[in-house]
Amino acid sequence: MEFAGKSALVTGAAGGIGTSLVRRLRAAGAQVAVADRLTDGIEADAHLPGDLLDPAYSDALPQRAADALGGLDILVNNAGVITRGAVTETSDQDWSLSLGVNVEAPFRICRAAIPIMAVNGGGAIVNTASCWGLRPGPNHAVYCMTKAAIASLTQCMGMDHAHQGIRINAVCPNEVNTPMLRSGFAKRGFDPDTAVAKLGQTVPLGRIAEPEDIADVILFLASDASRYICGAVLEVNGGKPVS
Ligand SMILES: NC(=O)c1ccc[n+]([C@@H]2O[C@H](COP(=O)([O-])OP(=O)(O)OC[C@H]3O[C@@H](n4cnc5c(N)ncnc54)[C@H](O)[C@@H]3O)[C@@H](O)[C@H]2O)c1
């Protein structure tokens, strides 16, 4: 996949999937603006650190990326947070955090990016949902709801903005070997390496996903190879259903 001359904005760029994605986009020729709470040490063409819970920051990100890179062809809303528990164990803070990062920020960023892409003849947006947003798993009620919301928003935007030459799709991973998953194991007192290996045995392909497995699918959805795909929610699960 070739991205020479393309400009991309990636949120969650310092995380597991984000790090791999930024490297691959740049290796394929794209200019990349990185957004995360801290972006120090990431090799990129523009650094736009900040907190996605700040509406003014999210609203401004696409224009700032376009100004820094000379345009905006690709947006990847990859940042996310996971909160565990049933509704009865969910605090107001968990609710605001999950909705804020996983739904409101991508909504704001898409709303600002679409007109910028439209005047330049189009673009591609990839949102990160989850298999758990398509069919919920246990004990993560609000997380699953936020991922269902971003999946649905993606389907709606995919229809509504195709006529502007903007393709909007979502990637829906199952378990991925990133800090998000590993820190969850550590918090619950499990050794992350052992837990990841054990979890891998539950996947028909024999292992959980590595960040690169997801980044490659995001690259595909951002590339011309997927030029006729709009509003898709693409499961990347190694054959493992949500159970
Ligand atoms: N790891 C998995 O098993 C898995 C499965 C399905 C979907 N996903 C989704 O993939 C995406 C990437 O996750 P990951 O596994 O790489 O996780 P990660 O925790 O490694 O990375 C997430 C990044 O988002 C950033 N972020 C979170 N809140 C932010 C805020 N308020 N402001 C700015 N940045 C913020 C974090 O700093 C972090 O760098 C997420 O949307 C996640 O929900 C992950």
Question: Which residue segment(s) compose the domain that 59 sits in?
Answer: 7-174+210-236
CATH of the domain at 20: 3.40.50.720
Residue 58 has pLDDT above 90, yes or no: yes
Residue 186 has pLDDT above 80, yes or no: yes
Catalytic residue status for 57: no
Residue 44 located in a structural domain? yes
∠ CA(2), CA(47), CA(10), 5° rounding? 45
pLDDT at 243: 72
pLDDT at 1: 80
Domain count along the chain: 1
Q: Which atom of ligand 1 is nearest to the CA of 173?
A: 6
Q: Which of 176, 185, 221, 233 most suits a substitution to test ligand 1, by most atoms within 8 Å of the C-beta?
A: 176
∠ CA(150), CA(151), CA(153), 5° rounding? 60
Q: Which atom of ligand 1 is nearest to the CA of 51?
A: 32
CA dihedral 116, 61, 148, 132 (to 10 degrees): 120
- Protein residue whose Cα sits closest to atom 41 of ligand 1: 80
Q: Which of these is catalytic: 13, 124, 143, 149? A: 143
Q: pLDDT tens across 97-125, in order?
A: 999 999 999 999 999 999 999 999 999 99
Residue 241 located in a structural domain? no
